[in-house]
Structure 1
Amino acid sequence: MKREMDTCDKRMETIVITASFYDDIHKFVSSVGWDLIFGLNLLLRKPDGAWDPSNAEELMKYTVQSGYKMGGWELGNEPNNYGRKFGCKVGARQLVKDFHTLNSLLGEYPQFDDTEVLGPSVTQLSTDDYFQRFVNAGGGEVVTALTYHQYYEDGSVAKLEDFYNPYILNILYRQIQKGMNLTRAAGTKAKLWLGETSSAWRSGAPGLSDRYVAAFMWLDKLGMSARDGFNAVVRQSFYGGNYSLLDNETCAPNPDYWLTVLFKLLVGNKVLRVISPDSLGKIRAYAHCAETRKSGYPEGSVTVYVMNIDQSPVTIELPDFARNSPLHVYNMLPADDDLLSKFVLLNGKKLQMEDDKTIPNLLRPVKTTRTVLIPALSYSFIVVPDARLHCCM
């Protein structure tokens, strides 16, 4: 049996997060209603190779003393790449032991009883078997959610047509199934998260990952991961890199920002089954109980979102509902009919901030019945307000 090495050669650059910067993080997170998950430094090691939790303990004490709330803790980031990046190796079995140490530390603070514990946060599952070794060593018992990262391709070589190529989009499907199979085989009941994800690695594809065309990868990922049992998807990134939701120079919203906001307004957590199409071809559809608190739609409403990555328009019917059921349609197209546009049209209206703090009202659907036309290379949200679906009540 190959022995896992747990060594570091101390060639890493030291980066210090000050107390004032940590305060600013919490101030921002609290002001926008987010939950903070903090990534702890796994590369702080003892002479015997075990994780040194002293720095984490200092941080936790400060967090409690400051009255800050935490959404969760992550230990390490992409540990399967440590050897290549840092000349440091932390084996999967050792990482499980390190999580035991983390859990013991968290147990000293009742304030953290309900926080998430995330790991191993490896790179793509196709890279190596680190995730499998972590799970087989009991990793599913030391975390609340098993995490891995997912990107479709290398941002330095990505092409426009890749962003709506069914074969490339289906890379996610294969990786989801692999993750599900590995956890089932190990008998763990831990949740699965995409702990970091976007369109392309190397900070995204320049001129592509921040344009309208990137929405196909993002929306398909949200739908497919929810349908196949993933509890959370962590987007990379809000700011910074070519895949950011906000423009790096102006902070103006990129197209994926508007998609994300509309998704949050219309799509609830409960996933419904879509029989046709199969969502692996050029017409992809997903359905959820509608989000009612943010949208104002009545309980029992249903939201269906459809991607048409074909070159021709398609007509969508919802045969499970009455023929005269009102349908509220939110269609999103690129400005100037350009897939590389940094602006998106919602039912023909260009989406822009009204001022530095105010987003426009997105809940202005086109109302119709029976069928919905989805233009070529576009996506739509369709809400059925009077569906009165019992499981959504």
Structure 2
Amino acid sequence: MPRQFLCPVFVSSLWLALIIQSLISSAATYKRPVSGGKRQSFLERTLILLDVNTRSPVKVLNDNFLSLQLDPSIIKDGWLDFLSSKRLVTLARGLSPAYLRFGGKRTDFLQFHNLKNLAKFRGPGPDYYLKNYEDDIVRSDFALDKQKGCKLASHPDMMLELQREKAAQMQQVLLKEQLSNIYSDVTITARSLDKLYNFADCAGLHLIFGLNALHRNPDNSWNSSSALSLLKYSASKKYNISWELGNEPNSYHTIASGSVNSSRLAQDYTLLRTLLQSVRFYSRANLYGPNVGCPRKNAVLLLDGFIKNGGSVVDAVTWQHYYIDRRVTKVEDFMKTRLLDTLSEQITKVLKIVQTHTPEKRVWLGGVGPSWAGGTNNLSDTFAAGFLWLNTLGIAAAQGIDVVLRHSFFDYGYSHLVDQHFNPLPDYWLSLLFKRLVGPRVLAVHVAGLQRKPQPGRVIRDKLRIYAHCTSFHNHKYIRGSVTIYIINLHRSRKKIKLAGTLRNKTVHQYLLQPFGTDGLHSMSVQLNGEPLLMVDNETFPELKPRTLRAGQTIAMPPMSIGFYVIKNINAYACRR
């Protein structure tokens, strides 16, 4: 059984009968190819039998399992001022409940200044128009959301076009910084923090704010002055925020003159916990860390020492994973099973370290994306990236990662969920379906007929990946007890899946995602069951209509596709509570 599939159940007599029946059927219907034709492999001819253990979940995850990230670069490129957009808030609300991590590489160059009345540029640019909006909230194009008291705006096209020009220029600067590992300082003011919190609160997201860990004293201890000022301001506004300190501390030697060892990092987090307790409003606030990078040698040593010396200080252990660098330009590289399996190997490393020192501590994937350094245009923002994203969610859930924070919701680069025209990209629609259909209870999957017997010394990595959860309790379309299966088909041929055992002869709702248009896997548009997905307007999602498969009907997964399948009225015991 492949590593990414969950604990198999014992093969019963029913299973044996089903397998024998499938093989007989395959043999009976098999036709020898004409001369010169390519013979079908055993895998292509075999009907795949799928069952799920519905007695009890193997993992129970955080309700906010799929969560989001915003990089502090959003301050430098000017997009922070547009987080009041009705459309952006609507899109973010679609993915709630979730955490919103404000952090990334520029976290450790972020300084807070409590200056509300900075001189503003009054020329014919975005800031000029934005000031008019903020100072005149009674205008018809600026409204308060009556349900939450949120300040939302509809920005004129001219304003957005000017901002896109500004952002395009700044994107080259930000990318240069990322590739050279030489970063300029970022200033966040009280007014900017207000905008950030307004966005998170209006969208139903819980803000996690990353504090600067590279602001250090001459003795290399953490200088907490800026952080304390920010804490006091946030407390005065009663902002409900959780906190973290720094980003990828294992790489500090590449972006700063010094480095931080595990003992010092544990002391820094202990100091931050003390600061939180000293500010009454945050005395019980959550603290997450240490946000180490890919668990290679240096990161593993740092993480191990940190948890040993200060693991009790954090509420969850966080680390980050990016599959490939931005120089990858072939769509085929995004679908290599060897690449997809790297995440499972790294999760195993991290869990082993955490369980050695703090076995009850939750583990978060505190930053994840298809590729680092902003991603690759026409690749990490296309349908092809969805295979990596859903693979991340499936493997992380199966191995008990409590929360996965996607880099990013909206900012510079090409790995975001929403583009700079405020249009959802393929990974957004995938995330929306996941939120609506997939609950936090993970179920064990049993698959038969998926692969041949492994040969000695050979590892078989599957191109068909199947995961199962209880259906989300937040989806009132389905009663408790329903089960959601999600499937990735990386084969270039159709795969047939027969539901068996507890899933047999149940009505199924299919949500099949495929690229829309002539660009194929490079498409930035998605179709659901053959219908393109588009926002109706700035505040209305399209109806996500399922296709009903009759009881006992075989699931046919087209090549290079993604599908969600809700098994209705199964009354699964694991999903009733």
TM-score range, shorter chain: over 0.9
Provide the secondary structure at the position in 2 that maps to 1:89: coil
Mapped contact 1:266–1:295 kept (Cα < 8 A): no
Residue 385 in structure 1 maps to residue 555 in structure 2: no
Q: Quick one: distance in 1 between partners of 2:327 and 2:224?
A: 37
Residue 247 in structure 1 maps to residue 419 in structure 2: yes
Match of 1:170 in 2: 341
Provide the secondary structure at the position in 1 that maps to 2:187: coil
Call closer, same or farther: CA 1:229–1:101 in 2, change over 3 Å. Answer: same
**TM-score, structure 2 as length reference:** 0.64
Q: 2:536 aligns with which of 347, 354, 378?
A: 354
Match of 2:555 in 1: 372
**TM-score, structure 1 as length reference:** 0.92
One-letter code aligned to 2:528: L
Q: 1:53 aligns with which of 194, 216, 224?
A: 224
Mapped contact 1:330–1:365 kept (Cα < 8 A): yes
* Correspondences of 1:98-117 after superposition (within 5 Å): 98-117=268-287
Shift of 1:327: 0.4
Shift of 1:109: 3.7
Q: Quick one: distance in 2 between partners of 1:280 and 1:239?
A: 33
Mapped contact 1:135–1:186 kept (Cα < 8 A): no
Mapped contact 2:304–2:353 kept (Cα < 8 A): no
Mapped contact 1:218–1:256 kept (Cα < 8 A): yes
One-letter code aligned to 1:165: K
Match of 1:300 in 2: 481
Q: Quick one: distance in 1 between partners of 2:221 and 2:393?
A: 37
Mapped contact 1:155–1:201 kept (Cα < 8 A): yes
Match of 1:3 in 2: none
Residue 219 in structure 1 maps to residue 355 in structure 2: no
Output one character per residue of 1:126-182: Cα deviation in whole Å (capped at 9) or x when no partner: 262344343453232121111111011111124211111111100111111111112
Match of 2:138 in 1: none
Provide the secondary structure at the position in 2 that maps to 1:181: helix
Q: 1:231 aligns with which of 398, 402, 412?
A: 402
* Correspondences of 1:194-213 after superposition (within 5 Å): 194-213=365-384
Q: Quick one: distance in 2 between partners of 1:392 and 1:110?
A: 39
Provide the secondary structure at the position in 2 that maps to 1:134: helix
Shift of 1:183: 1.5
* Correspondences of 1:47-86 after superposition (within 5 Å): 47-70=218-241, 72-86=242-256
One-letter code aligned to 2:399: D
One-letter code aligned to 1:330: Y
Q: Quick one: distance in 2 between partners of 1:322 and 1:180?
A: 32
Match of 2:321 in 1: 150
One-letter code aligned to 2:270: H
Shift of 1:103: 0.8
Output one character per residue of 1:271-314: Cα deviation in whole Å (capped at 9) or x when no partner: 11112269951110111110132342100111000111111111
Provide the secondary structure at the position in 2 that maps to 1:152: strand
Number of residue pairs aligned between Structure 1 and Structure 2? 382
Mapped contact 2:235–2:282 kept (Cα < 8 A): no
Mapped contact 2:386–2:427 kept (Cα < 8 A): yes
One-letter code aligned to 1:377: M
Match of 2:94 in 1: none
Provide the secondary structure at the position in 2 that maps to 1:101: helix
Match of 2:210 in 1: 39
Q: Quick one: distance in 2 between partners of 1:295 and 1:14?
A: 46
RMSD: 2.0
Residue 330 in structure 1 maps to residue 502 in structure 2: no
One-letter code aligned to 1:375: P
Mapped contact 1:140–1:188 kept (Cα < 8 A): no
Moved beyond 6 Å, runs of 4+: none
Shift of 1:357: 2.2
Q: Quick one: distance in 2 between partners of 1:380 and 1:131?
A: 39
Q: Quick one: distance in 1 between partners of 2:397 and 2:488?
A: 16
Q: Quick one: distance in 2 between partners of 1:136 and 1:58?
A: 28
Shift of 1:17: 0.3
Mapped contact 2:304–2:354 kept (Cα < 8 A): no
Provide the secondary structure at the position in 2 that maps to 1:30: helix
One-letter code aligned to 1:347: N
Provide the secondary structure at the position in 2 that maps to 1:316: strand
Match of 1:122 in 2: 292
Match of 2:47 in 1: none
Provide the secondary structure at the position in 2 that maps to 1:212: coil
Call closer, same or farther: CA 1:296–1:50 in 2, change over 3 Å. Answer: same
Shift of 1:76: 0.5
Match of 2:66 in 1: none
Call closer, same or farther: CA 1:29–1:12 in 2, change over 3 Å. Answer: same
Mapped contact 2:308–2:357 kept (Cα < 8 A): no
Structure exhibiting the larger radius of gyration computed from Cα positions: 2
Output one character per residue of 1:23-42: Cα deviation in whole Å (capped at 9) or x when no partner: 00011111110010000011
Match of 1:139 in 2: 310
Q: Quick one: distance in 1 between partners of 2:212 and 2:226?
A: 8
Provide the secondary structure at the position in 2 that maps to 1:162: helix
Mapped contact 1:93–1:137 kept (Cα < 8 A): no
Unaligned runs of 5+ in 1: 1-7
Q: Quick one: distance in 1 between partners of 2:289 and 2:184?
A: 23
Provide the secondary structure at the position in 2 that maps to 1:95: helix
One-letter code aligned to 1:205: T
Provide the secondary structure at the position in 1 that maps to 2:206: coil
Mapped contact 1:125–1:131 kept (Cα < 8 A): no
Provide the secondary structure at the position in 2 that maps to 1:43: coil
Call closer, same or farther: CA 1:33–1:375 in 2, change over 3 Å. Answer: same
Call closer, same or farther: CA 1:187–1:37 in 2, change over 3 Å. Answer: closer
Mapped contact 2:276–2:285 kept (Cα < 8 A): no
Q: Quick one: distance in 2 between partners of 1:319 and 1:110?
A: 56
Mapped contact 2:487–2:564 kept (Cα < 8 A): yes
Residue 290 in structure 1 maps to residue 461 in structure 2: no
146-155 or 210-219, larger mean C-alpha shift? 146-155
Shift of 1:236: 0.3
Match of 1:313 in 2: 494
Mapped contact 2:290–2:303 kept (Cα < 8 A): no
Q: Quick one: distance in 2 between partners of 1:390 and 1:133?
A: 38
43-52 or 122-131, larger mean C-alpha shift? 122-131
Match of 2:522 in 1: 340
